[in-house]
Amino acid sequence: MKILYHIGHYALFLKKSFEKPERRSVYWKLFIDEIVKLGIGSIGIIIIISGFMGMVITIQTASQIDGNFIPDYLVGWTTRQSVILEFSTTMLALILAGKIGSNVASEIGTMRVTEQIDALEIMGINSAGYLVIPKIYAFMIIMPFLVVISMFTGIYFGYLICELTGIISPSQYLFGLQYDFRPFDVSYAFIKSIVFAFVISSVSSYHGYFVGGGALEVGKASTRAVVYSSIVVLVMNYLITQMLLI
């Protein structure tokens, strides 16, 4: 029953958030700030994680197909498919659920316990809309760009490891990258990433917005935001994959 309560409460929260904004120009400035904070601020960690994952996928795949029957270029193909279909979308979303989810929940939660949200409400401002909508839109807009950066980084570092270690020849890797390429896979990745961005930003905001108490509760809300965002991302991943790929 508790989960039904939260689903209903979350739906009402979103309804309140999407009400007409008081002053669009103010929201626009917040939207740009959030793009910088949520998007640009995440590029560093995305490059580091994607780079290492690309290298590991390449090495693991190459080490598994050590034989005469499977061509080397499949290493490139496998790396590309793993990165595009799953790593740069779902894995990246789970990592960002940790980074951005906790950040958003603790920021909004702190505003709640220090009465800043009450201050907005008393002024006649739709606090849910003011705090949440710029984050949701900004993250949904910036997420596909982050996914592209992650894809290129992962695939490029896979290539780099071939160059450096000679585990397979770089030309075979490049051939595999282009082999049997389906542009729809990229569209599928973008659709997933936009849905994940919505889930992470809205679920985390929800947990931050309804914090009660003090600093301890803000910490708990931050943890809940990461856990529930991750679970919903995984559920949505299954549903979207079922709908689009089968």
Partner 1 sequence: MIEVKGLSKSFGDNHVLKNVNLLFEQGVPNLIIGASGSGKTTLVKCIVGLHEPDVGTISYDGRIFNQMNNSERKSIRKEIGFLFQGSALFDSMSVEENVMFPLRMFSHSTLKEMKSRVEYCLERVDLAGTNSLMPSELSGGMKKRVGIARAISFNPKYLFCDEPNSGLDPHTALTIDRLIDDITRESGITTIVITHDMNSVLEIGERLSFIYQGDLLWKGSNKEILRTDCTELTDFIYASEYMKEVRRHLISE
Minimum CB distance to partner 1, residue 113 (Å): 9
* For partner 1, the closer CB: 70 or 119: 119
Contact at 8 Å (CB) between 173 and 76?
yes
Long-range contacts of 168-172 (CB under 8 A, 24+ apart): 168/62, 168/72, 168/73, 168/75, 168/76, 169/72, 172/71, 172/72, 172/73, 172/75, 172/76
* For partner 1, the closer CB: 111 or 211: 111
* For partner 1, the closer CB: 72 or 107: 107
* For partner 1, the closer CB: 60 or 114: 114
Count the Cβ atoms, other than its own, within 10 Å of residue 83. 29
- Please give the C-alpha separations between residue 109 and each of 6, 218, 229, in angstroms, as whole numbers: 17, 5, 16
Minimum CB distance to partner 1, residue 12 (Å): 13
* For partner 1, the closer CB: 94 or 111: 111
Minimum CB distance to partner 1, residue 95 (Å): 25
Task: Report the interface residues with partner 1, using CB under 8 A.
Answer: 22-23, 26, 110-111, 114-116, 118-119, 121-125
Minimum CB distance to partner 1, residue 23 (Å): 5
Backbone angles phi, psi at 70, to 5 degrees: -110, 125
Minimum CB distance to partner 1, residue 29 (Å): 9
**Counting every residue, how long is the chain?**
246
Structure tokens at 29: 């400035």
